[in-house]
Every structure is written in C-alpha cells, then in structure tokens.
Amino acid sequence: MTRVWENPLRDPRDKRLPRIAGPSSLVIFGVTGDLARKKLMPAIYDLANRGLLPAGFSLVGFARRDWAHQDFGELVHDSVKEHARTPFKESVWNRLAEGIRFVQGSFDDDDAFDKLAQTVKDLDSERGTGGNTAFYLSIPPSAFPVVIKQLARSGLSDADAQTWRRVVIEKPFGHDLKSAKELNSIVNDVFPEESVFRIDHYLGKETVQNILALRFANQLFEPIWNANYVDHVQITMAEDIGLGGRAGYYDGIGAARDVIQNHLLQLLAFTAMEEPGSFSPRALRAEKIKVLAATKPAEPISETTARGQYEGGWQGGKKVPGLLEEGGFSKESKTETYAAVTLEVQNRRWAGVPFYLRTGKRLGRRVTEIAVVFKRAPHLPFDSSSTEELGQNALVIRVQPDEGITLRFGSKVPGNIMEVRDVTMDFGYGHAFTESSPEAYERLILDVLLGEPSLFPVNEEVELSWEILDPVLDHWAAHGTPEPYSPGTWGPPSADELLARDGRNWRRP
Amino acid sequence: MIIDLPSTSTSQVNAKLVEMRARGGAVALGRVLTLVIATEDDEQLEAAIEAANEASREHPSRVIVVAKGSRSAAPRIDGQIRVGGDAGASEVIVMRLYGALATQGQSAVVPLLLPDAPIVAWWPGSGPKAPSEDPIGELAQRRITDSAAERNPVKALGTRAKAYKEGDTDLAWTRLTHWRAQLVAALDLPPYEAVTGAVVTGEADSPSTELLAGWLAEYLKVPVKRIKSVGAQGIVSVVLERNSGAIELSRPDGRIGTLTQPGQPTRRIELRRRDNKDCLIEELRRLDPDEVYEASLHGLGKIASGATPKAAAAKVSPAAAKAGAAAKAAPKAKPPKETTSS
C-alpha cells in the first residue's frame, strides 16, 4: 500500500457515528469465573445491544468443563439476563449467540489449544472475524506462563501485517517489583507491549475520566490545584464486605498489593499529574509516568503507614466473622485487610502536600473517593466564636457509588448573629447526566477491540507503582503485625493516629 | 405526582414549581437542558412525553409541552406539572393553550425556561416550514423536526433543505445512524478501493432513504441511484459498487440487516428501526450544528432516480403495500414501541 486509505464516508465532524470495532473475535480463558459471568459477558451483550460490536463478532470460551457450544451459550445467556445493564432483547441475543463457541481443555493440553486455534480460524472463514483476535486472560497469574506459551506454540499469537492479536490481563500484576518484571517479560516474550492491555477497571469509570475534564477543561480549579492552596489529599477505597471465600487469592497478598498498587496509585496519578500536551495515549502516559516516578513513601515508614485486620463482630445488623475465622485463612495470617500509606509527590506543584491513601475490607460502607482538602483562609475577619464550626474547604470526587462531585465551603447560618458553618454543594452524575452510563468493562473491552490504549496502564507504570510500594511492604514484613479493628468501623486506631500526628484527621466518607 | 392547574398563568406555574421544590427537596436540581415539545393537543402528545421521559434518564431536563388546543375556544391556559414517577428523571410541564393563545406558544414558554441551560425544540408531529424562524424555534439552539411525520415526507425534507439553519436536525436523519455506521465501518476494511457508484433502495416516501442517498452522493461524489420499492418499509438496501465487487447492506424485513462483501462471509447485523426514544437520546447528546446533516441535505439535489423494479413490486401483495402505506401516513399515532413500522 503506497498511499494511506482515506475512508470517504468518514468525517471528523460526524459525532453521531459510534466507534464500532472492526471485525474481530474475543477468546476468554476462565469463562466459568465470577468476573467473566458477572462483568465480561454482560458487558459484551451491552456492547452488542448498543450496536458497537462488529458484524460477525465471535466469542470463544475456554475452560476445563466438559461442555458443548450450547452449554456455554446457556451460561452466557443466563449471566447476560441476570447482570446486563441494558434490557434483554431476543433478537440482539440471537445475533450474538450465532458467534458463541466453546473449547474444552486444560491449560497444559496441546490438543485443546490446537482445537482452539482451529475454532478461531473457522470463525474467520464462517463469520468473517478478519483474523483479529483478543485473548482475555481471566485466570490466576500463576497460569499465565503456560497459557502464553500455548498461545505461541499453537500459532494463535501470530499476527501478520493485516491482522492483530491482543492480550488482556487483570490484576494482580505481580506481588512486588521483581515478580512484576518477570510477569511482564513472560507476556512481552510473546506479545509486544503495544498489544498488551492491562485492565484496571477503575480507569473505565466515567468519574475517573472526568477528573481530567474537571481539571483541564475548567478555569476554576487548576489555579488552586497545587501546594499553595492544597493542604493534603485523601484517596479512599473502602468496602463493607469481608473476604469469605477469597482466601486463595487474598491470603499473603493483602490490601496494599490488592488495591493501593493499582487502583489508588492510578487515581493519585490522575489527581496529581501535570496537564498532558494532548490526549493522545502517549502524552497521557508520559505525564502519568512522570508523576509516579516523582512519588515516594513518606519517611519514617513506621509513623506514616498503618495496617489492620478485621475482627469478628457486629456489622450492619449482622454478626460477621473476623479474618482469622474466615475459611481458608491461616489462623496466624498476617495478611492486612486495611492499609493506609502517606505518599509525597516530589515536584514543585506538590512539595509538602501529603497524599494519604487508604483501603480496607469490612469498613463503614462501600465508597471510593478522592478528597482534595484546601488550606484554611490565611485571615478570618470574624470573631473567633463565629468560625468555630468552619472546617477546611474540600473538593471531593466521588468515584463510586453515587458518582459525582461535592464541594464543601463555609456559609452563614441564617439568623441575627454571624456564624459560619460548613455546607456542601453537590453535583450528581446520576441526575445531571446519565443514570445509564456504560459499565467500566464495556468501555474497556471496546477499547481493546478498537486498539485504543489510553485507559490501560503500561508496564512502566506497573513497575513504578511497585517501586513506590515495595519499601512499605518490606518494612511491614520485617516489623510487627496488623492491628485488629472492629468490622463496620473506619479502620484501626493507628490509622487515626497517623493523621493526628500531622494535625489532621480522616474525612468520614 | 401530577398536579393540575386549570385556567392558570405561567407565574402561577412557576410559583408552584418553586413551592414543590421547597417542600419536596431538590426536585429540580441538575437539569442539563430545557426541552420544548410543540404539538397538537391529540393522541401523539402522550407518546411524545413518554419518549421525552425515557430520554431524560440520560439527559435530565425540564420538559415543557406546548399543546395547541381548540382555536375557537376562549383564550386560556390549562397547566399541568408532573414530577417523580410520572416524569422519569425530568419534570414535565404541560401547557394546553386555547383560543388566540394557541398560536402564542413562545409567550407561555419563556418564563419557564431554565436559566443558562440550552434549549431544544421538538416538533413530534407536523413542524414549521422554517424551524429557525418559528417563534419557539427562535428560542432554541437546536430544533428537531420529523419529516416522516409530515403528510408528504419527501416534500417536507425538500422544504427543510431550503430553510436549513445551523441547529436544525430531523429525526429522519437520526434513524439513519446505524446504517451509516455500518457503511462507514465496511469501507474501513480492505480492499481499499474507491467506490464507483451507489444504489439506494427504499420506500417511495421514506425521507430517511432520501437522506441516506444524499449523504452518499455528497461524500462519495459518485452517481447515486435512488430506487423506490413498493411494499417494503423504510430503507431496504444500499449497494456500494467497487471494482472488486459490491458491498451490499440490505434489510428486507425491517429488522435484521445482511452485509455482503466480495471474498468475505455474509454477516448478519441487528438493524432494527429505531424508536423515538432512542433517536431523541441521540439528538440531545450534542447541541452543536450538525454539518454532516447539512451536507446530506445538500446532496439531495444530486440523486438520480431509478425505476421501480418490477420484480420487487410483483412479490408484494397489494394489501401488504396498502398496510405499509397506511402505517407510513400516521407513524406517530402509535406508541413508540420497538416494533414500529415504516
């Protein structure tokens, strides 16, 4: 091809046209898992229902179960009916069902992978998937090497100039810097970095993408988004559920590796990064990498971090077991279910502004938010009694649930005396825009099929995250054990002391 | 909750809205636009409100319905406010205007517009000849008409083309989006060859078919032939000719599309006719001028008409053809359910 083809029907001003993925198929490993049933398959149906999947799109499931295509079809059907966001339409389903295949086998079974390769090839000739295939590895990382090797051996990973192969992997991306590098090299052995899509589903959320719009499309916030005005930043991801049934994955991993390394550090990067030159994936990544490289844990680690482990007790009207009583966890488990760390972003914009990151299980309620807390006004021309109840101004980005933004500021209490108290102003995504905003997985799967990498962290980001977290993990491994906390509270006392040392306190989300 | 305010004035309606907000909490917060629906006071009114309520789930808005009642009655306004479960995520104000007031809709609308928020006008039935010069259209940034709901759809489209001003749009255009998306996607794939000609087949009085042909003529700059089918409803098929063979997208049954390309397996696509709710949601997503629509209106003049193919005509029984035409004449009379015809 000497000249680049320009599609005469494409007009950049034509904003109505949805971005439909090109002909392709998706192979999911680990189709019987929770994630595949509750998130991936419903997201695929929702995409089909919105008309965003290409004609002839095909879905191949690979698992050990002894199933026929119809059995797998039934599983997809049921999970779609139960979990899909958009209403179930028989005709949409029928179109999708025509392209559903199942291949039975274990990961070390050469024959099964040869059959898979044949299935993918047949789909291309029967349905016109164009030879383009994405592999979704919804499997534990320990199985990655063998699956990746099988993909290479069976020729499934080979693409020519006209077609593409992409691989999608989920967290955990290793458990420290060393293992992350190993994992990256295993994957990159077969798939070049530009065809590796690491899913961090937080980045698919509208509210997270809106951080960029909030910061860089408005004149209002960016001028005060720095150490001159910001006192500190709190990033919280709390869950009210425990870890029953997840021992296999969680024991020995803990809250910091499970959540802080990926989700919270990505949120930090979006909050703290400089304005990118453009919104091209490259420019965006460059800024995220810059800010992550400037981020370090605050010293001394024994005073700037806290960790905890939930005990048994009463939560929300129910008696719940402590971590040590949950099935599958060792009675001496030192795994933390609560982690809080203090990070410094060492650049001119953020010098001296601590970023407090915390996450935990069995906390007060399920919530994820970023709170930017501002300094107090340098001078208050009121009696000291008038402003006793005035706190610090805060801008809170509520990531989930109840997506939106809260602004907290002081206001006069009605009456004949001057008294200033905190009030909040609320922007709710739910009522201001769309109740039916796409699920994060919909956006991310579509981006994989389109080859649009903006919302996926690259291996450099993953490795930098581990560099930030490793000193904390090493310190924890060498010193003491997690402090117990009651279920339904906001973490162990040491977490409160951590902020009290700096004269601050955690916001109650 | 539905509150009737018979024989009222706009200031009373406004006072009631403020009172309801004070009493019931933040009923009217977070609205992103005002949607003004201008319609006759007949059965299509409820269908239009229902579509607007559904659309409000994605675009929370204040919906002001201006319904023209009997011109011979004494001048008066019957107001009605709907909030909560009866109004989706919006608040609906229905103003029935009688007598001399019936033609003065804008005077009832102005006091009720949301501050600062954009205004969209929608005529679900027969619309003005020049939407931008209509008193209600003048208020709005975006004016949505529906040529398919006019008595003579194709002629109405011609009128729209002549009167086009930035901000105009038509639901006949919105109904095309899926078709256009598929055709654009088909040309994104190899072989990368220029299109040498195009044929668009569809019902004789389908404005969407005309617009599709206009769009192709304008953008491909090749002869586009328009063939009028008898019996089948709406758009039937599009053929893009290339040296290596034609791309054909056809939808004979009004539901499932078939995409054929040389050297590739036939692909089936869900290509159901879109209901008003879907179209309205798409329209409200963007409020800037639609240059592509303007270009397609411009392309209408470049279409060559073809003869009605005898084979297609022979296959359809006269009764079916008649039924199709009847459905065509009053498409808006039906609730916007998914099995709408035409």
Distance CA A433, CA A486 (A): 38
Q: How far is CA B73 from CA A375, B5, B97, B109, B243, in A?
A: 65, 18, 10, 20, 65
Summarize the confidence of residues A112-128 as an average pLDDT.
89
Q: Do A17 and B265 touch (CB under 8 A)?
A: no
Considering only CB atoms, A55 lies closest to which of B32, B269, B295, namely B269
Closest residue on chain A to B32 (Cα): A432
Chain A residues whose beta carbon lies within 8 Å of the beta carbon of residue B194? 8
pLDDT interval class at B306 (50, 70, 90):
low
DSSP secondary-structure letter at A330? -
| B59-68 tens-digit pLDDT | 888 899 999 8
> For residue A401, is the peptide bond before it cis, meaning its omega torsion is within 30 degrees of 0?
yes
pLDDT interval class at B330 (50, 70, 90):
very low
Closest residue on chain B to A17 (Cα): B181
Summarize the confidence of residues B247-274 as an average pLDDT.
85
pLDDT of residue A434: 53
Closest residue on chain B to A22 (Cα): B185
Would you say residue B2 has pLDDT above 90? no
Q: Do A23 and B195 touch (CB under 8 A)?
A: no
- A337 contacts A462 by C-beta, under 8 angstroms: no
With a CB-CB cutoff of 8 Å, which residues 186-245 of chain B face chain A? 187-190, 192, 194-195, 216, 219-221
Q: How far is B26 from chain A (nearest CA, A)?
A: 11
Considering only CB atoms, B181 lies closest to which of A13, A20, A125, namely A20
Considering only CB atoms, A125 lies closest to which of B31, B89, B265, namely B265
Q: Do A16 and B180 touch (CB under 8 A)?
A: yes
Amino acid letter, residue A278: S
Chain A residues whose beta carbon lies within 8 Å of the beta carbon of residue B290? 16
Q: Do B57 and A436 touch (CB under 8 A)?
A: yes
Considering only CB atoms, B181 lies closest to which of A18, A128, A426, namely A18
With a CB-CB cutoff of 8 Å, which residues 252-311 of chain B face chain A? 255-256, 259, 264-265, 267-270, 272, 282, 286, 290-292, 295
Closest residue on chain B to A18 (Cα): B181
Chain B residues whose beta carbon lies within 8 Å of the beta carbon of residue A7? 184, 187-188
- B180 contacts B215 by C-beta, under 8 angstroms: yes
- A104 contacts A111 by C-beta, under 8 angstroms: no
Count other Cβ atoms within 10 Å, centred on residue A425: 10
Chain B residues whose beta carbon lies within 8 Å of the beta carbon of residue A433? 32, 58-60
- A399 contacts B2 by C-beta, under 8 angstroms: no
pLDDT interval class at A432 (50, 70, 90):
low
Chain B residues whose beta carbon lies within 8 Å of the beta carbon of residue A128? 264-265, 267
Q: Do A98 and B268 touch (CB under 8 A)?
A: yes
pLDDT interval class at A430 (50, 70, 90):
low
pLDDT of residue A52: 86
- B51 contacts B277 by C-beta, under 8 angstroms: yes
Which residue, among B188, B220, B222, B261, would best test binding to A if mutated, counting the most A CBs under 10 Å from its CB? Answer: B188
Considering only CB atoms, B272 lies closest to which of A17, A91, A162, namely A91
Q: Do B267 and A16 touch (CB under 8 A)?
A: no
Closest residue on chain A to B27 (Cα): A431
> For residue A172, is the peptide bond before it cis, meaning its omega torsion is within 30 degrees of 0?
yes
Quick one: A5 exposed, middle or buried, by C-beta within 10 A (0-12, 13-18, 19+)?
middle
Summarize the confidence of residues A291-302 as an average pLDDT.
94
Lowest mean pLDDT among A247-256, A285-294, A348-357: A247-256
- Provide CB contacts within 8 A for A480, sequence distance 6+: none
Q: How far is B42 from chain A (nearest CA, A)?
A: 30
pLDDT of residue A485: 93
Chain A residues whose beta carbon lies within 8 Å of the beta carbon of residue B286? 15-16
Which residue, among A1, A10, A17, would best test binding to B if mutated, counting the most B CBs under 10 Å from its CB? Answer: A17
| Catalytic residue flag (residue A479) | no
pLDDT interval class at A436 (50, 70, 90):
low
This prediction has a pTM of 0.82
Q: In whole numbers, what is the pLDDT of chain A averaged over residues?
A: 88
Q: Do B282 and A56 touch (CB under 8 A)?
A: no
ipTM over 0.85: no
Catalytic residue among A77, A263, A431, A479: A263
Determine which helix (DSSP H) or strand (DSSP E) holds B199, and give its type and residue range.
Answer: strand B195-203
Chain A residues whose beta carbon lies within 8 Å of the beta carbon of residue B255? 91
| A190-215 tens-digit pLDDT | 999 889 999 888 888 888 888 999 99
Summarize the confidence of residues A178-191 as an average pLDDT.
90
Count, residues in chain B: 342
Lowest mean pLDDT among A31-45, B28-42, B288-302: B28-42
pLDDT of residue B212: 93
